[in-house]
Structure 1
């Protein structure tokens, strides 16, 4: 994942293979106000040829967790505790782009809205992610 992160969140996890890498997710913008990333539809389809809903969920959680980390890392470590996704339409080719913006950022939790759109700017999925801010990292 390429990222322009002022607090380099990716540095601590660079030695661990990431799901986002396997799915082709690229971070485009990383600020405390929004995290933008994209993912190819190719390789992330379900058997009927459309973007897999689980792939949209992975993109949403990747962007929302990165956004939470922008606010709390390295003092605290965000972990997703609730993700909801509403799938509005199919994507069959090209790339989908997700934009995560904070709804709430507190000491112990944060919630973000993630909007995923196709290359024509049509909304494919709307997701909401809540992260718990832990004092210590889970052991790998």
Structure 2
């Protein structure tokens, strides 16, 4: 069973977003950047390398705002980025664009569910402590 498959039809001028993306609580900016990355993605390698500027122009955001949302997508384990280096004509190394790898959506769903379970467990524990404190206050020794 393949966990991730490029969904771009070869003959159509559109691409779908995975339904699960809307259950992850992403900001609208992160959704826009993710959509742009999926649009640029090579279906064989699941990678793309647009610059922050190119993404920003596509989704009408500043470079710094794009950077913020790329970090959000990395934290949600939707993408992995690798910094590429380029050589100038005089042989100096410079930072190039990032290489983005789009990860299987199931990774992000699993991570999101783990966070939700952890929050629920913390809430239950706080409720237990609160109940114990109420009993102690009601029946002091």
The alignment's TM-score, normalised by the length of structure 2, stands at 0.29
Larger radius of gyration between Structure 1 and Structure 2:
2
Calculate the TM-score normalised by the size of structure 1: 0.29
